[in-house]
Amino acid sequence: MALVPMIEIIGSPRSSDEILTRRTLDTEQDAPATQIVEAIAELENTGPTELPPIYNCIDDLIANLFSSPPPGEADANITFTYRGYRIHVQQNGRMTILQSTS
């Protein structure tokens, strides 16, 4: 499944972080956590099943962001670390994956 490339990011990554990819999660197509793992697997040139479960890092936070979203004016965001990547997900489905160098 291909993820749609993201056009813009809100906020700024730390200057020591390199942006690797920007995408928009399609929450009607697949679970957000699954799409995140697929994006990381693509970056690492491996299969998603070769990676450790992402739920060890985020539990149901990502799923809840989309299943029971706060009002749009809340502008909710989640940032977490998985396998040395800093992953930033916005309430509107925009995702940025950064390689943390710090």
* Three-state SS at 21: strand
Instruction: Tell me the average pLDDT across 59-82.
Output: 75
pLDDT of residue 75: 73
> Contact at 8 Å (CB) between 41 and 48?
yes
Which pLDDT does position 76 carry in this prediction?
78
- Answer for the pair 17, 99: CB distance below 8 angstroms, yes or no: yes
The mean pLDDT value of the chain amounts to: 78
Report H helices in 1-102.
Answer: 32-44, 55-58, 61-67
Distance (Å) of CA 13 to CA 17, 59, 96, 97, 100: 6, 23, 9, 10, 10
Q: How many domains does the chain have?
A: 1
pLDDT-above-70 percentage for the chain: 74
Instruction: Please say if the pLDDT value at position 35 is more than 70.
Output: yes
For residue 56, name the pLDDT band (cuts at 50, 70, 90).
confident
1-28 confidence digits (pLDDT tens)? 444 333 333 344 455 568 899 999 987 8
pTM: 0.74
Domain holding 42, by residue range, is 4-99
